[in-house]
Structure 1
Amino acid sequence: MRIVGLTGGMGSGKTTVANYFKELGVPIYIADDAGKTLMNTNPEVKAKISSLFGEQAYKDGNLQRIYISDQVFDSPEKLQELNEIVHPAVGSDFLKWKNKQDSSYVIYEAAILFETGGYKKCDLVVLVTAPMEERIKRLQARDKSSLEEIEARMKHQWSDEKKRKLCNFEIINKNLASTKEQVRNLHEILINTGKN
């Protein structure tokens, strides 16, 4: 069973693309969702986060996301330390999940697949892209974020140009009908090449 990484910058439409693959029966693992769950449920992860950020990191057993975001926003060191706690836990969780799947390939969807080196564990990588103005529009509508907030968050991600050099396929997400067609075509390629 092959692992197909799926990534893309904020607002590119990774979730939309992941859902199209899901409609085709492909098992999807969303790394960001798994990370959030593990930060709230895994005792080892919780203990390490509490040790790093102090008692304020959790309230009534629940991660204080705004507090943590504030701590890591301008501190690349703290963000790196948090990633070093969460990413190995997500990696283990993914392997357990993958072993329960029965398909020719699974999709591992992660926003910062390249930035964390996670792409090295994938057999192939699909990059989702969209025009920058479109991405900003989507993020403003989805998160009610200001342009300044969006640009600050985008600073932490690689550019599409840099990601393109390491990906195997690109899905350009400008309109939904075209995106869905690209996913269908890619699914056929992935299934057929998996038979060799």
Structure 2
Amino acid sequence: MKKQITKKNKILQLGITGGIGTGKSTVCKIFETLGIAVYDADTRAKMVMITDDILKKELKKAFGDEVYLSENEINRDYLVKTVFSNQENNEKIEILNSIVHPAVGRDYQHWYNENAAKSPYLLKEAALMFESDSYKVLDAIIVVHAPLEERIKRVLKRDSHRSEEQVKAIISKQMPEEEKLRRADFVIYNDASHSLIKQVLELHEKFQSLS
């Protein structure tokens, strides 16, 4: 795990990523309590998917009109079954990402302009940080890691509409955990053996010293 950061940006911009169920959102909430602005790419993507008319047209063209229940509501069950359930559907995942990621990138830039002066450093949380190449413009990447079985339990408890098979299918489509850890600049371990708060506080002090 690297310890030195070579700043690319005037204001330190850091990424937080990890597979589904690792606890990225929990880690980000701790950073937020410390006064750090956090961009939640997954939540913002859901917003963009119902507010960006060009994006909506592209999604309907790629996956059919059924992708929307109404003008302001995504058919998430349909999208999950269409894109993630079939083990052979890597091409559909690539199509979805190619449509959504550029729109999220534009949204992040608007968010950055609004928050750059309000926080000592900025965090961008995204499940597909490496897959989307958005990590390339950030100064360093934090990977949140948790045991596989614990991740599955968390997602099933959080998302009652998903089955264990669907969760495993999503995990199988994401970058392998070993590869994420290899690429990480910093790792936060979200398991019974490590204190999340202590790990976040240590990183917070480091990042503040670089700001």
TM-score, normalization by structure 1: 0.91
CA offset digits 1:98-124 (Å, max 9, x no partner): 111122311100011112222112111
Q: Distance in 1 between matches of 2:185 and 2:124?
A: 14
Equivalent position SS for 2:195: helix
Tell me by how many angstroms 1:191 deviates: 0.7
Which of residues 92, 95, 109 in structure 1 aligns to 2:106? 92
**Pair 1:128-2:144 in alignment:** yes
The amino acid that maps onto 1:126 is: I
Which of residues 160, 173, 178 in structure 2 aligns to 1:161? 178
With over 3 angstroms needed to count, the CA separation of the structure-2 counterparts of 1:132 and 1:173, relative to structure 1, is same
Q: Distance in 2 between matches of 1:12 and 1:55?
A: 33
CA contact 2:12–2:210 (8 Å) conserved in 1: no
With over 3 angstroms needed to count, the CA separation of the structure-2 counterparts of 1:40 and 1:189, relative to structure 1, is same
Q: Distance in 2 between matches of 1:52 and 1:151?
A: 24
Aligned to 2:62: 52
Q: Distance in 2 between matches of 1:159 and 1:52?
A: 27
Aligned to 1:192: 209
The amino acid that maps onto 2:120 is: S
With over 3 angstroms needed to count, the CA separation of the structure-2 counterparts of 1:151 and 1:59, relative to structure 1, is closer
Tell me by how many angstroms 1:182 deviates: 0.6
Aligned to 1:150: 167
Q: Identical aligned pairs, as a percentage? A: 39
Q: Distance in 1 between matches of 2:125 and 2:54?
A: 24
With over 3 angstroms needed to count, the CA separation of the structure-2 counterparts of 1:142 and 1:193, relative to structure 1, is same
Q: Distance in 2 between matches of 1:137 and 1:81?
A: 29
Q: Distance in 2 between matches of 1:63 and 1:22?
A: 28
Tell me by how many angstroms 1:159 deviates: 2.2
| 1:26-45 correspondence to structure 2 within 5 Å | 26-45=36-55
Tell me by how many angstroms 1:59 deviates: 3.1
With over 3 angstroms needed to count, the CA separation of the structure-2 counterparts of 1:147 and 1:51, relative to structure 1, is closer
Q: Which has the higher mean CA deviation after the structures are superposed, 34-43 or 115-124? A: 115-124
Tell me by how many angstroms 1:169 deviates: 0.5
CA offset digits 1:125-154 (Å, max 9, x no partner): 001111223222222322245443322221
Root-mean-square deviation over aligned CA pairs: 1.7
With over 3 angstroms needed to count, the CA separation of the structure-2 counterparts of 1:179 and 1:83, relative to structure 1, is same
Q: Distance in 1 between matches of 2:34 and 2:105?
A: 25
TM-score, normalization by structure 2: 0.85
CA contact 2:37–2:122 (8 Å) conserved in 1: yes
CA offset digits 1:14-46 (Å, max 9, x no partner): 010000000000000010111111111111111
The amino acid that maps onto 1:70 is: K
CA contact 2:50–2:56 (8 Å) conserved in 1: yes
Unpaired runs of at least 5, structure 2: 1-10
